[in-house]
Structure 1
Amino acid sequence: MTFLNHGSFGATPRCVLRSQERWRLALERQPLRFMNDELGSGLRAAAGELGGLLGVPGEQLAFVENATSGINAVLRSLHLEPDDEIVATSHVYGAVDRTLDFVCRRSGARSVHANVPFPIQEPAQVTAAIQAALSAKTRVLVLDHITSPTALILPIAEITALCQQQGIQVLIDGAHGPGMVNLDLLKIGSDWYTGNCHKWLCSAKGCAFLWAHPDLAASRQDIHPVVISHQLDEPWPAEFDAIGTRDYSAWLSVGEALRFHQKLGGAELRQRNRRLALEGAELLRSELHQEALAPDSMLGSIVTLRWPEEVDATVEVAARLRRELWAEHRVEVAVFAFDGQIYFRISAQAYNELADYQQLAVALRNRRGR
């Protein structure tokens, strides 16, 4: 098996699964004591460990199930008016785009897409596209840190500063950020940042965070979890810590994932993964006679390339191609339709090596020659 799609769902190591199971057993041994007396302190301790990676104290972090939940918590809590606009880029993640549709349908606000080109030559093109989409009606910019379909690292700090000058709030969708790139949330300066831990930090599935800038938390801005429970209107982030009876073990075991990440090298691992992804992409482009779709400076440990066959650019075709690649060659890679074309996206994680990308190149060449 050649697995080149770590970016979609991550991979949870056995040590994290064991930690998760210990937390589950603690709940089952004495549910009342666990839920009433131990859960809150356990979550805040876990948030403190996570904050060390993100450059912020744990009390600024709320746990959520995934980045999409974090996006929903913010957008569905905002008091939008019919004339308001929410801006996102044309590379926005599909689930987030559906969330924008939902909140705009309910409020009468309008969703606006900033048309970011792809292929792209430089980050300034992203900034220019977003600037062109902003207006006096813009309330919020929803901005990917690393785009899902096109794998672009966007200049989020620069764009955040641009929006702040115009009184526009910024919500960063950092689904791929934690564990792929170095993060200092205060330096980014956005109003909110949500990121997954299950992808590049290899936590248990269902572990993510929502960060609110301390200035917002101090003013008790009206941001609520998607599930409203007993802690309604408690100070940030207490309301997010208690959302009813559920399995909290993915959140509680995030410290074990952080230690595993550090054991593999931490920042050195992140650099190694990026180098391998770029080398793998270069190998594939050479084998498939393709040009780069973005500069290396905008890429991390995922890279998007063109599908080398002429096919219909539909979601159904993309799904079929992915299944065929697995069934015929035991190679797993993300395949998707974007902007009228089919692309595939490679990932690089600790378990990958350059030979994996050669195996993918062979599989794609064999498909073209059949």
Structure 2
Amino acid sequence: MLDVEVQTSDYRKYWLLDSEVTFLNHGSFGACPIPVLQRQTQLREQLERQPVHFFVREWESLLDEARRQLAEFLGVIAEELVFVPNATTGINSVLRSLRFSPTDELLTTNHEYNACRNALNFVAERWGATVKIANIPFPLNSPDEIISSILEQITPHTKLVLIDHISSQTGLIFPLKPLICELNSRGIESLVDGAHAPGMLPLNLPEIGATYYSGNCHKWLSAPKGAAFLYVHPDKQNKIHPVTISHGANSPRTDRSRFQLEFDWMGTHDPTAYFCIPEAIKFMGSLQPGGWLELIQHNHNTVIAARKILSEKLAVKLPCPDEMIGAMATIILPDKIQLIPSLQTQLWEKFKIEVPIIPWENQPQKLMRISAQIYNTHSDYQKLAEALISLMS
């Protein structure tokens, strides 16, 4: 039995999360609040009552309104956005649209998400281009270490840089603005894997300056699963196509761009996750008096306190400064815990704690990544610390 008092957040009532589970992994798949799910149910019933009417007469206006509100949230104009089911699809859409030559170099980092790294490798192999890896240390002391590690790998042959906004493995926030400013000055395109950023960080995409940016809405924005976006700089839209080619490729319409015509309709699917984005923005922004900015700060403060609890209880050093993380934090587990077999499974089966244990490159050390959404409390992380200590004893 753990010697820790478990407290329930007042906000937990807005989620369907199992009350017996300590859920510290919002970062993997998100968790959709009940009011947003109710909106999706309403939309699905609307669709099924008259599918032809919905897709022929209602679908496009719903799509445009969702895009308009998301664009406002991201600081862009609606014409620069299209919807995709997840950020990986957005990354694939860009990479598989671009043309490279055997002399081109495609640069990424050792922190890049495996799915997107695979897409980069696939495209490089198809064109005979070279993938280069910037090795960013972890732990690290400053964002400057990220910038210098990447810029050191730039050559006259560098064509594109694929870079995280927030690393899935380590939770690090990459210093995009100064890095992309330097890439732009050298004429190098940037493709940002922003899977975790929307809803975790305040976003203004024009200020970041990336050529391409794909982000999820089902994680920290808390929309339903299957909602994400792709931003493409207006000057590059004519060369970017969806992975699925459909009716938009030869549409005679002239009232919107070919970019949106191709991405907006890629075949029949359930589009209600996209249409729920405005409800997710509204609901999540209503949970704190200061709206989204206060929610973002609240989650950041929670994860800062949480990793301090874990570092003190487990006697491990913090791997990066507070300002380099948002609402996810990673610690390097001590050697004694590293030896515990199937640690993630044991935490789940013995303590009903859901938290990811992540291998780090080819090293024996493993990382533990915690998430902090508004429904989490400090007692959740106390319970995790006590569970780890119990497993070591």
TM bin, normalised by shorter chain, reads over 0.9
Whether the aligned pair in 2 keeps the contact of 1:84 and 1:137 (CA below 8 Å) is yes
In 2, Cα distance between equivalents of 1:215 and 1:264:
38
In the alignment, structure 1 residue 269 sits paired with structure 2 residue 291: no
Residue 192 of structure 1 corresponds to 212
Matches within 5 A, 1:101-112: 101-112=121-132
Residue 51 of structure 1 corresponds to 71
Give 3-state SS (helix, strand or coil) of 2:366's partner. Answer: strand
Residue 345 of structure 2 corresponds to 323
In 2, Cα distance between equivalents of 1:26 and 1:111:
47
Residue 137 of structure 1, CA deviation? 1.1
**Per-residue deviation, residues 285-309 of structure 1 (Å, max 9, x unmatched):** 0000011101111111100011234
Residue 342 of structure 1 corresponds to 366
Whether the aligned pair in 2 keeps the contact of 1:306 and 1:344 (CA below 8 Å) is yes
Residue 280 of structure 2 corresponds to 257
Structure 2: stretches of 5+ with no match in the other structure: 1-20, 251-256
Residue 246 of structure 2 corresponds to 229
Amino acid at match of 1:275: N
Structure 1: stretches of 5+ with no match in the other structure: none
Counterpart selection for 1:89 from 101, 109, 128:
109
Residue 202 of structure 1, CA deviation? 0.5
**Per-residue deviation, residues 146-196 of structure 1 (Å, max 9, x unmatched):** 000011001001110111111100011110100000000000011011110
CA RMSD of aligned residues (A): 1.5
Residue 26 of structure 1, CA deviation? 2.0
- Higher mean C-alpha deviation, range 21-30 or range 138-147: 21-30
Residue 9 of structure 2 corresponds to none
Residue 311 of structure 1, CA deviation? 6.9
Give 3-state SS (helix, strand or coil) of 1:62's partner. Answer: strand
Counterpart selection for 2:145 from 125, 131, 140:
125
Whether the aligned pair in 1 keeps the contact of 2:337 and 2:392 (CA below 8 Å) is no
In 2, Cα distance between equivalents of 1:155 and 1:366:
38
Matches within 5 A, 1:124-143: 124-143=144-163
Amino acid at match of 2:247: H
In 2, Cα distance between equivalents of 1:107 and 1:28:
44
In 2, Cα distance between equivalents of 1:334 and 1:8:
9
Whether the aligned pair in 2 keeps the contact of 1:84 and 1:139 (CA below 8 Å) is yes
Residue 239 of structure 1 corresponds to 262
In 1, Cα distance between equivalents of 2:60 and 2:240:
19
Give 3-state SS (helix, strand or coil) of 2:193's partner. Answer: strand
Amino acid at match of 2:311: R
Give 3-state SS (helix, strand or coil) of 1:112's partner. Answer: strand
Residue 91 of structure 2 corresponds to 71
**TM-score w.r.t. structure 1 length?**
0.95
In 2, Cα distance between equivalents of 1:6 and 1:353:
13
Counterpart selection for 2:376 from 335, 340, 352:
352
Give 3-state SS (helix, strand or coil) of 1:136's partner. Answer: coil
In the alignment, structure 1 residue 248 sits paired with structure 2 residue 268: no
Q: What is the aligned-residue identity percentage?
A: 42
Residue 354 of structure 2 corresponds to 332
Amino acid at match of 2:144: A
**Per-residue deviation, residues 53-72 of structure 1 (Å, max 9, x unmatched):** 11112221100011101100
In 2, Cα distance between equivalents of 1:80 and 1:37:
41
In 2, Cα distance between equivalents of 1:293 and 1:74:
33
In 2, Cα distance between equivalents of 1:114 and 1:53:
32
In 1, Cα distance between equivalents of 2:277 and 2:127:
36
Amino acid at match of 1:31: P
Whether the aligned pair in 1 keeps the contact of 2:316 and 2:333 (CA below 8 Å) is no
Counterpart selection for 1:151 from 160, 171, 177:
171
Residue 363 of structure 1 corresponds to 387
Amino acid at match of 1:127: I
In 2, Cα distance between equivalents of 1:209 and 1:92:
19
**TM-score w.r.t. structure 2 length?**
0.89
Residue 167 of structure 1 corresponds to 187
Residue 240 of structure 1, CA deviation? 0.9
Give 3-state SS (helix, strand or coil) of 2:259's partner. Answer: coil
In 2, Cα distance between equivalents of 1:144 and 1:344:
19
Whether the aligned pair in 2 keeps the contact of 1:44 and 1:59 (CA below 8 Å) is no
Amino acid at match of 1:40: E
Counterpart selection for 1:36 from 43, 48, 56:
56
Amino acid at match of 1:235: R
Amino acid at match of 2:386: V
**Per-residue deviation, residues 327-346 of structure 1 (Å, max 9, x unmatched):** 01111111110121211000
Residue 205 of structure 1 corresponds to 225
Residue 263 of structure 1, CA deviation? 0.9
